[in-house]
Amino acid sequence: MKIRFCEAERRVFARREKLTVSQWAGKYLIVQDGIYRGSPLRLDVSPFLRGPMDAYSRPGVREVVVCGSLQVGKTLLLYACLGWSMDYRPGIKMLAMPTRESRDRVVEKKLRPMLQGSPVLRRMVAKYRRENILLKDGTSIELATAESPSQRASITVQDLFVDEEDLYSRSGDSSPLEDFKGRTRSYGDFAKIIRACQPKGDESSSIWTGITRQVDQLMCYEVVCPACRHQHLMDVDRIVVPDGEADPRLIRSRKLARYRCPHCQYLWSDHARDLAVASGRWRPYVWTGAAFEPGPDISDARSIGFHLPAVLSRFVSLSDLAARRILAGSDDPAQQRQYHNDDLGMPWSPVELQTDVDRLLELRDPHLPPRTVPHGAVALTCGIDVQKRGFWYLVRAWMPTMASYVIDYGYLGSWDDVQALVFDTYYPVQGPDGSDVGERMPIWRACIDSGGTETEGVYTRTEEVYMWVRANGCGVVHACKGASRPQAAPVRWVVRERMPH
Ligand SMILES: [Zn+2]
């Protein structure tokens, strides 16, 4: 028997071309705003978006987490994955947003124009509603907000798209993000999740925790110097203003800033930076707690994180970054947070927090009595700060690991008191179980500040310190002063035969 198919039937049965998200978006997604409005998406403008996009369409990848600055294309990325998913993965989808207000705005200004602007996607939509978009295949895109938990609890979804999770407010024990992710559980390994957000605030930021601690693999984008082809991770500290201009306004308006290649020292303009980004690539990294460092390549990673700082974006000039770095150098915490969150795509903790009284008190060892050496300490050191009258001092016990405990501090009135503290004081040492075993430990080395403070006597305080150390130091007490410039070694030793000047 011979069956003849009509043209439409043949189209339905035809083997579909399998495209990755970036290939699909370059063909079917029409840009809705900015200077490229109305043309198909051009990923040569933001080549780094290919990495997260194609990770999303890779079989076996269940979750993609993107932590990035403003203006790097996070929304575009999210919608490209949503469009691809509509085309290739029939099933209920959920787009999660912080508030009803943000949802209504985003749907009206971004999502709806994108769906209507793409012929492939336009054909799939049956009806737009406030809380969901019905699709002709009988499924839907649920438009959820972190404000309405009841809506979150009632729907099972296959593909989850999480927008701006750092703006989700938590109520009590429930985390909206975890609730949303829980909706995909019944799809198991078949579900896909993508999260894209700019970090807000400090290290507890949800998206920052996502890329640094929750994913199997973290990726950072390395660029290639157009002059010497050296490949490296960009470091904003290498942005320089060659003629030393310090006025942020002039730096910005005259586009004065350059990026110095760490290998050949060539100064990149914004255009050279764009070229460097164009030939760049994603590489496996890890976050050490202080910096991104190259890490192992985990080929079967099921969750992948991507870090996208503004320095990669051609919509952000090096001069804008240099200007904002200068503003962030001021004491204004708002400027500092903005620079870290918006431009570096990093969390930011205000420095005040680190000297916060409660946090200092948390560092106390409740089992160590005052003026007692902890078990296992190998040496005691003492620092003495010279005042106009008297001295402040602090005694530290050192462990073999270089960890240290402050065991004593206070004020001394005279040189005789200094003498007694350094040479005649023996601190009790704790036994292994915290008891006093009768062992005593003296101060091993002390430093006394010789930086000039005025005095009421005949000699300056500096002269007094030198004379006292010469007569009484015995190789235990050393005169010292701070350096005004960074030193190669933490401490440098010089012999003073006589008073300078
Ligand atoms: Zn170079």
Per residue of the chain (501 residues), what is the pLDDT tens digit? 788 888 777 766 777 788 999 999 999 998 887 777 888 888 998 999 999 999 999 999 999 999 999 889 999 999 999 999 999 999 999 999 999 999 999 999 989 999 999 999 999 999 999 999 999 989 999 999 998 766 656 789 999 999 999 998 776 667 889 989 999 999 999 999 999 999 998 888 999 999 999 999 999 999 999 999 999 999 999 999 988 888 999 999 999 999 999 999 999 999 999 999 999 999 999 998 889 999 999 989 999 999 999 999 999 999 999 999 998 887 778 888 889 999 999 999 776 545 567 777 888 888 888 899 999 999 999 999 988 778 899 999 999 888 899 999 988 989 999 999 999 999 999 988 888 888 999 999 999 988 765 555 666 788 888 889 989 988 899 998 877 666 667 777 877 766 655
Cα→Cα distances 471→25, 233, 399, 455, 475, Å: 80, 55, 31, 20, 10
Strand runs labelled E in 61-213: 63-68, 93-97, 125-128, 132-135, 140-145, 159-163, 192-197
CA of 421 to the centre of ligand 1 (A): 57
CA of 468 to the centre of ligand 1 (A): 55
Determine the distance separating the centroid of ligand 1 and the alpha carbon of 226, expressed in angstroms. 7
- What is the distance in A from the centroid of ligand 1 to the CA of 260? 8
Q: Are strands 93-97 and 125-128 parallel, antiparallel or unpaired?
A: unpaired
pLDDT for 408 equals 94
Distance of CA 442 to the CA centre of its chain: 44
Question: Which domains are present in the chain?
Answer: 20-344 (3.40.50.300), 369-480 (3.30.420)
CA–centroid distance, 171 to ligand 1, in Å, is: 50
Ligand 1 centroid to residue 261 C-alpha, Å: 5
Strands 445-449 and 391-398: unpaired
Report CA(233)–ligand 1 centroid distance (Å). Answer: 12
3-state DSSP: the chain helix, strand, coil percent, rounded to 5?
35, 25, 40
Q: Which residues contact 354 (CB under 8 A, 6 or more apart)?
A: none
- Helix residue ranges, H only, 33-88: 50-57, 74-88
> Torsions phi, psi of 173, nearest 5?
-85, -15
Q: What is the whole-number distance in angstroms between the Cα of residue 324 and the centre of ligand 1?
A: 25
**Partners of 222 in beta bridges:** 233, 281
d(CA 267, ligand 1 centre) in Å:
8
For ligand 1, the distance from its centroid to the CA atom of residue 496, given in whole angstroms, is 46
Ligand 1 centroid to 241 CA: how many Å?
Answer: 17
Distance 225 CA to ligand 1 centre (A): 5
Contacts of 178 (CB under 8 A, 6+ apart): none
From the CB of residue 420, how many other CB atoms can be counted at a distance below 10 Å? 12
| Alpha helices per DSSP H over 294-430 | 318-328, 333-338, 357-362, 415-424
Q: What is the pLDDT of residue 380?
A: 96
Contact between residue 39 and residue 118 where contact means Cβ atoms under 8 Å apart: no
**Which residues are CB-contacts of 90 (< 8 A; sequence separation ≥ 6)?**
137, 139
The alpha carbon of 224 and the centre of ligand 1 are apart by a number of angstroms equal to: 8
**Interval between CA 86 and ligand 1 midpoint (Å):** 43
Residue type for position 5: F
Beta pairing partners, 145? 97
